[in-house]
A and B are shown apart, each in its own frame.
Chain A
Amino acid sequence: MKHHLNPQQWLILLAVMLTASIGDSLLAYGMAQVGPVSTAHLGLLLHALSNLWVILGILCLLGFFASYLTALSWADLTFVLPSTAFGYVVVAFISRFWLHEHISPYRWLGILLIVCGVGFVANGPARTEHATHPGVEVDPLA
């Protein structure tokens, strides 16, 4: 079992953090260009798929899912999830500095708490060692 991550694995965790937040931001930017979609005009969703920003957002989110699954193959869920939460922090910075949105003091405090939370797990082992099996074969529902 791996307890400490190598540089490539840290890069994958970084991809988990960045691709989700950047993908969401790209989708939001693209959908703002497409305009509001109502249930009466669901065809607009297909039209949205031709928007470059929406396409880039979907590609980013596919990258997120691939890197998230890769991370789960060598790290605990309770290690990876706070890392994904760090994406909220990235979104807040994108909102502030790219979209020029106002970030309230409550949000800055929330960002600080998430950073602290990620810091707690980042210093610990990435994966629980199961004494019964030295490999990776664990049936979680057994």
Chain B
Amino acid sequence: MTATSLFETWATILTVAGTAVAGDVLTAGAMRSLGDLDHIRARSGMIGAIRAVTGSPMFLLGVCSMAASFFSLLFTLSNVDLSLAAPASASLTFIGNAFAAKLFLKERVDSRRWMAAIFVCAGVVLLAH
């Protein structure tokens, strides 16, 4: 593999993971700012809950990021082997989410959650074998 193709491979994988992390963090932030959906459903019914969720610009931005991640994964799979692209992007997404949740959502990512992210990340890589 040449240096250029190696760069392209990892650039596309990082794009998949980056947009997936953005999607997860934006939807999580949107859901947190909306509050407990069970309460909203009890108060306004299912239609009210759907309206509350889909009316959130942050949620819509998150869905757009998820869509971008999906299409960039398709693009990546057209150039990179599935056995590398799928576990690499999934693992990077798990670790990236832990950092992003701490940074943007101010979640308390303690040693237990770091261990969970690392274990799941390693597990995903092994599942691809």
A residues within 8 Å of B by Cβ? 8, 69-70, 72-74, 76-82, 85, 88, 92, 104, 106-107, 109-114, 116-118, 120-121, 123-124, 128-130, 135-141
Question: In the complex, which range does the number of interface residues on chain B fall in?
Answer: 35 or more
Q: Which residues of the partner chain B approach A121 to less than 8 Å between Cβ atoms? A: 112-113, 116
Q: How far is the CB of A23 from chain B (nearest CB, A)?
A: 15
Once bound together, how far apart are the Cα atoms of A88 and B119, in whole Å?
13
Once bound together, how far apart are the Cα atoms of A94 and B105, in whole Å?
35
B residues within 8 Å of A by Cβ? 24-25, 27-29, 31-38, 53, 58, 94, 97-98, 101-102, 104-110, 112-113, 115-120, 122-129
Would A117 and B115 count as touching, CB distance under 8 A?
Answer: yes
Q: Which residues of the partner chain B approach A109 to less than 8 Å between Cβ atoms? A: 123, 126
Once bound together, how far apart are the Cα atoms of A88 and B126, in whole Å?
11
Would B126 and A110 count as touching, CB distance under 8 A?
Answer: yes
Would B113 and A107 count as touching, CB distance under 8 A?
Answer: no
Would A120 and B33 count as touching, CB distance under 8 A?
Answer: no
- Once A111-B123, A140-B25 are accepted as A-B contacts, the answer to whether A72 and B129 lie under 8 Å apart by CB is no
Q: Which residues of the partner chain B approach A106 to less than 8 Å between Cβ atoms? A: 126-127, 129
Q: Which residues of the partner chain A approach B35 to less than 8 Å between Cβ atoms? A: 73, 135-137
